[in-house]
Amino acid sequence: MGGPNENGNSGASDRRRKRLSEKQTMLVQKISDGTVIDHIAAGKALSVLRLLGNPQARGDTVALVMNVSSSKMKRKDIVKVEGVEISEEQVQKLALIAPQASVNIIRSYRVVDKKNAVPPKLLSGVLNCNNPTCVSVKEKDSVSPIFSLAEISPLSYQCKYCGRKLAEQDILSQLG
């Protein structure tokens, strides 16, 4: 029972941040089982929820905390979903919408797994090229679009086939 709480903090070195974070997290009640996604850039919680397939529409309990202060990010959003554990594929996509997000999987009120949403260096079949004459668009039935990470901040990916870049806004509009 000595594991970290659902926000994943465990050390004593950042007690102040922990207290602040817990205070904000307590704006909504703790979840017993499910997923807590913290450190989402402010304003992107709804995009994250869409990425998760709008679990509230399926009747799952969802909590959104938006625009709370954060020592790391100034302002951030938090999403909690009761009874749903995020998949690896969703974590990969989450990294494209909220590159700094941290994901905690909760079971019996304890964090049992912790994942960081790190934008992958290579993306296959996740994003589509927005160049209408790119071969990955023209031959989309037989070619999987492949992108390489061009920049972390602001996030951008470059199409392997035509060299065009997808900017953060393009990525968000495809996934969010």
For another protein, the binding residues (CB under 8 A) are 131-139, 141-143, 158-165
In the beta sheet, which residues pair with residue 45? none
Cβ–Cβ under 8 Å, residues 172 and 156 = no
Which CB, 25 or 156, lies closer to another protein?
156
CB of 158 to another protein, least distance (A): 7
Which CB, 128 or 158, lies closer to another protein?
158
Q: Residues near 55 by Cβ (< 8 Å), separated by ≥ 6?
A: 49, 62, 81, 84
Question: 108 vs 31, 38, 46, 85, CA distance in Å?
Answer: 8, 19, 26, 13
Question: 154 vs 66, 98, 166, CA distance in Å?
Answer: 21, 11, 11
CB of 133 to another protein, least distance (A): 5
CB of 164 to another protein, least distance (A): 6
CB of 136 to another protein, least distance (A): 6
Measured between alpha carbons, how far is 168 from 155 in angstroms, rounded to an integer?
5
Which CB, 11 or 132, lies closer to another protein?
132
CB of 157 to another protein, least distance (A): 12
Which CB, 115 or 160, lies closer to another protein?
160
**Most distant pair of Cα atoms in the chain: their distance:** 57
Which CB, 73 or 135, lies closer to another protein?
135
Q: Residues near 36 by Cβ (< 8 Å), separated by ≥ 6?
A: 6, 7, 25, 78, 79, 80, 103, 104, 106
